[in-house]
Amino acid sequence: MINTKTELFSTYNKLKYFLLFALTLHVFVCSSQTKLIDSLRTNIFLAKNDHQKLQAIFRLCDEANSINTDSLYNYCMLANAIAHKYYRKNELLQLNYYEAILLSKEGRLDSAENLIDSCLSSLNKTSNIELQKKFLIIKSNTLIRLDKQKESVSNSLQLLRLSEQTNDVATQVRAKNSIGWAYMELNQNRDALNWFFKALKQQNTLPQEQWQPFVCSNIAAVYNNLIMNDSAAYFAKKALDLALKKNDLSYLANCYFIYAGITNDLGDKKQTEYLLQQGLQVRKLIGDPFYIVSDIFQLGLLYANNHETDKGIAVLKEGIAIANQHNLLEKLPILYTALARNYKVAGNYIQYGKVMDTLMLLKDSLYKKNSAEALAEMQTKYDVQKKENTIIQQQYALTKKNFLIYAIAAVLAITVLSGFLFFQTRKKNQRLKLQAIEMEQKKKLTNAVMKAEEDERKRIAADLHDSVAQKMVVAKINLEALGNTVLLESKQKEIFNNINILLKESTTEVRSLSHSMMPQAFERAGLVNSIKDFLDKIHHKNLKINFNADGDFSHMKENKAIMIYRIMQECVQNVLKHSNATRLDVSMIAADNETDIIIEDNGCGFNIEELNIGNGLKNIKSRIEFLNGRLEINSTPGKGTIIALYVP
């Protein structure tokens, strides 16, 4: 991260490369979409027959990143008329590929996904692997835009395996880039960079004419999010060079927004606004609503930070209209969040409250939709598993019948004995197999339940912090403003002050409840800081708390870290409720691929054999079992308690 004047100056010098290019690019974009596009259009008109014309149209559609949506639609219609004239299956499927790109650019993502799945189903019955890989690439991108990151990663891994089988390095680069993009959308920057650098390393083995700008552009975007401007500028410049060579307008627009993030961090507000506006102009020229509304969100936030709220409100309303028009419902929460911020900066608390109400209803609607989809997915998995169990049972019954037939035909004594032993072994293996299936299903269900529980905690915590607490703050401000304008009698003033104090205390309690449900320390620094923050907030006059953490916990995945946090939280709460201890020692050690946690108190202790297992201890044991860990409890009445956790 840049933190010295020398580094800031170095970044600004690197930025000059782009600023000198900005005017040239603007003229370039306004004069025509690109020279390559013009050349490809000419080839269509010079084609001597329908076959040549169709191939020329397909070559032009390969440059969809730099073609306006209306133009792409017209060429797809022209290709459609030619392809259906001769009805060649491969050409029709290739036409469907470009139609899927068109649907995606128009924001009709559900239709694009349905068309892609239909074509992939047809391609599975043919040997056209190259076209199958193309559909898998666009499917990964479409799933990300539908906010289905998990499905996108799964699809990209399938694409990666297929491209490795065919030794297709260029497609392997695209697959790894798509996986990194999905992690970037989930704000898992470490995993995103890991996949992007894998893609970049593999791309460097290709001839330079096959290099694409998207890998460097995505790396620059991640570094921009991390405010590592020097690294962001370096990779943005590499992406810019490749985009110029490829005449790729989409990634040229990306470079505008990446450099806008850098100039914003450097405090150059005018240059940031100019870059964002120019980038948005290029986006509108290409006509992809998904990216247009994303860029409008960034511009709206900039106007809020610059206190140019009239501009911010206007551009965000435009973005909301575009999102509604193209059914980009997943983009509406960020647009309404930015709009609320502009109203708040402008001091228009009435509109701010209305927008926050709309935002809360929108989040509830999206949450219900996602919950319904998750339940439907779980039900589908359950039905599939149930069918598989039925098939296994049928196979088992068939094997038993065959065995009886063969046993009758053989020597009676030997056959009966051998058959009995075989039957018992088979039955045991079948039982073990069924048990393994049931355990796997139980594990998946437990994982889904725990994930749903944490997602619900996050949502409620966010709603409490961003909506309820904010409204209470606004109410308190309005109440204080009213108190300054109205003369109150002593008794009325006492009531007024009581209301004000209650509002203040309620706001503090709501925020405290929000932080306890999903501690902000996870977003800042991970597990250790979350535990430390939790322990620091415990105020008990007779209890001294000692905390020690040794080792590197930074590589632990967030889901595992949250589970360990919940376990330790439950253990500490039990100490506070039942132990009457005066000392509590909490230690965490990360070493040898294992996390060891010891929670020790000098309280009253208890008899382990007489311990009644309540919901708290059940939750601890279920989480430890899910993490494949061990739980040990050592306690003696009057001599305190030691709880030891071992998590691989």
Secondary structure letter of residue 485 according to DSSP:
H
Task: Give start and end residues of each alpha helix (H) in 166-268.
Answer: 169-185, 189-203, 214-225, 229-246, 249-265
Pair 514, 461: CB distance under 8 Å: yes
Q: Is the pLDDT higher at 142 or at 612?
A: 142
Query: DSSP secondary-structure letter at 313?
Result: H
- Contacts for 611-618: CB closer than 8 Å, 24+ residues apart: 616/570, 616/573, 616/574
pLDDT value for 179: 92
Alpha-carbon 89 to chain mean position: 37
Residue 562 to residue 505: CA distance in whole angstroms = 28
Say yes or no to pLDDT of 610 above 70: yes
Per-residue confidence band for 553, with pLDDT thresholds at 50, 70 and 90: confident
CB 615 within 8 A of CB 623: no
The pLDDT value given to residue 285: 72
Q: Which is more confidently placed, 52 or 287?
A: 52
Which residue would you say has higher pLDDT here, 148 or 85?
148
Q: All domains of the chain, ordered by start, with CATH? A: 370-517 (no CATH), 521-647 (3.30.565.10)
H/E run at residue 545: strand 544-550
Reported as a single tens digit per residue, the pLDDT across 475-522 is 666 777 677 776 767 777 777 777 777 777 677 666 666 555 556 556
Q: If you write DSSP's letter for every residue of 242-258 in order, what string do you get? A: HHHHHT-HHHHHHHHHH
pLDDT in tens, 458-476: 666 555 655 565 666 666 6
The model's pTM is: 0.47
Mean pLDDT for 327-352 is 84
Cα 342 to chain centroid distance, Å, stands at: 26
Tokens of 222: 């991640």
Q: Is the pLDDT of residue 20 over 60?
A: no
> Length of the chain, please?
648
User: What pLDDT sits at residue 195?
Assistant: 94
Per-chain mean pLDDT for the chain: 77
Alpha carbon 608 to its chain's center: 44
Q: Which of 31, 60, 64 is nearest to 46 (CA)?
A: 60
Token pair for 587: 């230690």
Which of 8-12, 178-182, 395-399, 561-565 is predicted most confidently? 178-182
Q: What is the mean pLDDT of residues 335-352?
A: 87
Out of 118-127, 176-185, 600-609, give the one with best mean pLDDT. 176-185
Band of residue 449 on the pLDDT scale cut at 50, 70, 90: low
pLDDT at 176 over 90: yes
Q: Please state the rounded mean pLDDT for residues 594-601.
A: 89
pLDDT at residue number 2: 38
14-23, 68-77, 150-159: range with highest mean pLDDT:
150-159
Q: What letter does residue 598 receive in the DSSP assignment?
A: E
- Specify the pLDDT at position 451: 65
Residue 296 scores a pLDDT above 90: no
pLDDT band of residue 572 (cuts 50, 70, 90) is confident
Dump the DSSP string for 118-134. Answer: HHHHHHTTSS-HHHHHH
Residue type, 252: L
Residues 159-170 have a mean pLDDT of 89
Q: Is the model's pLDDT at 369 over the cut of 70?
A: no
d(CA 320, CA 329): 9
Average pLDDT over residues 201-227: 87
pLDDT at site 175: 92
